[in-house]
Amino acid sequence: MLLLMKPLLLILTSSLLTLSAMAAENEQHLLYVATPGIRNDLTWGGSGVLVFDMDHGHKFVKRIPFSVPDDKGAPRNVKGICANAGTQRLYISTTHTLTCLDLITDKLLWEKAYEGGCDRMSMTADGKVIYQPSFEKDFWNVVDAATGDVLKRIETPSTGAHNTVVDVTSTHAYLAGLRSPLLRVVDTSTREVVRETGPFSAAIRPFTVNGKGTLCFVNVNSLLGFEIGDLTTGKKLHRVEVQGFSTGPVKRHGCPSHGIGLTPDEHEVWVCDAFNKRMHYFNATAMPPKQLGSIECRDDPGWITFSIDGRYAYPSSGEVVEVATHRILTTLEDETGRHVASEKLLEIDFKDGKPVRQGDQFGLGRVR
């Protein structure tokens, strides 16, 4: 009997592997890049949503027309991007509006302007709710992702609303402002601020959180490096300064490090260095994290995110970096061969023409 079972098991295993390979072949892994994604600078890819094929050397696939003009007819800055495969929707914020596109047809579904403007938003995993900061005012809007209607306004005095993260469990949203050293934590079931983490040494700029929602990694003004906070106790734990590099004037954002992310497996934390045009990476399995090395970029990086599987890193300067080797594989170029750079990008995967999963514009830890 055992002799008969062994060939049968081999056949079944081979069949399952074949089916798995066929399923993988039917999938497309695409990188969606919203431009102008560095201020309103059209030299880095022009205007629109540029799509790249991650399975074939990140070749340019298409440009989805997108532009929200200002009073002079120029495209407004893109401030954030998020998507949900289940609802088949893509969202892009500018300084004034939130726009919703259909992921299958690329058609505009709705576009709304908001009192106080918009900044970098984040949404719950079910695709139903968006936490959208005003444009550097002192409140966040909780928005119905289906309609764009405001469900609630969260007042945060003296913050300068800016970056927003909903963690991978969607149990908490984290609110950071340009004028505050405190990270506010919102319970997404009540949509109320339930605690604060910090104060950190200066106002918080980009930040990320781990998969368990226990740690935050934050950039702050004047620091080449990052600080770490305990999201359960609210205490600042560590200050980590990049070693071996000096600081100086930067093109954008006014701080040495604007951009930080965890690899999805949380083995490393990557931080931007605008003055030296580098990404520095650290061993995040140690506390405080230990500096490992650096990657030179073609322009000042101001953001970092990763592919869903953690294979690729995407600095906003347009490089595609292999995480395992820390080697630049290629750079993003548009249909004319022009360099593409953006701080607003994420992965969306398709199977048989329909979206099946989405990444995130933030380098979020995904270990639960």
- 21 found inside a domain: no
Question: Does residue 359 sit in helix, strand or coil?
Answer: coil
- 365 found inside a domain: no
Q: Tens of pLDDT along 239-293? A: 999 999 999 999 999 999 999 999 999 999 999 999 999 999 999 999 999 999 9
Poorest-pLDDT segment among 18-32, 137-151, 186-200, 326-340? 18-32
Q: Residue ranges of the alpha helices (H) in the chain?
A: 2-25
Residue 4's pLDDT band, with cuts at 50, 70 and 90, is: very low
- 26 found inside a domain: no
- 39 found inside a domain: yes
The arithmetic mean of pLDDT across residues 39-50, rounded, is: 93
Report the number of distinct structural domains present in the chain. Answer: 1
| pLDDT at residue 26, rounded to an integer | 86
- Judged against a pLDDT cut of 90, whether residue 14 lies above it is answered with no
Instruction: Write the DSSP assignment of 26-57 as a string of letters.
Output: TEEEEEEEEESBSTT-TTTT-SEEEEEETTTT
User: Residue holding tokens 């820390």?
Assistant: 326
User: Residue holding tokens 């931007």?
Assistant: 272
- 13 found inside a domain: no
At 46, which CATH number? Answer: 2.130.10.10
First CA to last CA distance, the chain: 42
For 174-202, b where at least 16 C-beta lie within 10 A, e where not — what string?
bbbbbebbbbbbbebeebebeebbbbbeb
- For the chain, helix, strand, coil in percent to 5 are 5, 45, 50
User: Residue holding tokens 């798995």?
Assistant: 20
- Strand order across the 304-306 sheet: 304-306, 312-315, 319-322, 327-331
Between CA 81 and CA 337, with CA 70 as vertex, the angle to 5 degrees is 60
| pLDDT at residue 195, rounded to an integer | 97
- Judged against a pLDDT cut of 90, whether residue 9 lies above it is answered with no
Phi and psi of 229, rounded to 5°?
A: -125, 155
Q: Tens of pLDDT along 294-319? A: 999 999 999 999 999 999 999 999 99
Question: Does residue 349 sit in helix, strand or coil?
Answer: strand
Q: Which residue in 146, 78, 23, 110 sits closest to 346, CA to CA?
A: 78
Residue 19's pLDDT band, with cuts at 50, 70 and 90, is: very low
- 65 found inside a domain: yes
- Judged against a pLDDT cut of 60, whether residue 80 lies above it is answered with yes
Interatomic CA distance for residues 39 and 78, integer angstroms: 7
Between CA 213 and CA 218, with CA 216 as vertex, the angle to 5 degrees is 155
The arithmetic mean of pLDDT across residues 132-136, rounded, is: 97
Distance between alpha carbon 175 and the CA centroid of its chain, in Å? Answer: 15
According to DSSP, the β-strands at 260-262 and 319-322 are unpaired
| pLDDT at residue 68, rounded to an integer | 86
Q: Tens of pLDDT along 230-249? A: 999 999 999 999 999 999 99
- 238 found inside a domain: yes
| pLDDT at residue 16, rounded to an integer | 43
| pLDDT at residue 6, rounded to an integer | 52
Instruction: List the domain range (segments joined by +) for residue 246.
Output: 31-358
| pLDDT at residue 166, rounded to an integer | 98
- Judged against a pLDDT cut of 80, whether residue 228 lies above it is answered with yes
> Residues of the chain with pLDDT > 90: what percent?
89
Tokens of 214: 């226990």
For 139-168, b where at least 16 C-beta lie within 10 A, e where not — what string?
bbbbbebeebeeeeebebeebbbbbbbbbb
- 297 found inside a domain: yes
Interatomic CA distance for residues 32 and 51, integer angstroms: 5
Tokens of 196: 């604060």
Question: Does residue 271 sit in helix, strand or coil?
Answer: strand
Say what the pTM is.
0.93
- Judged against a pLDDT cut of 80, whether residue 21 lies above it is answered with no
Q: Tell me the one-letter amino acid at 159.
A: T
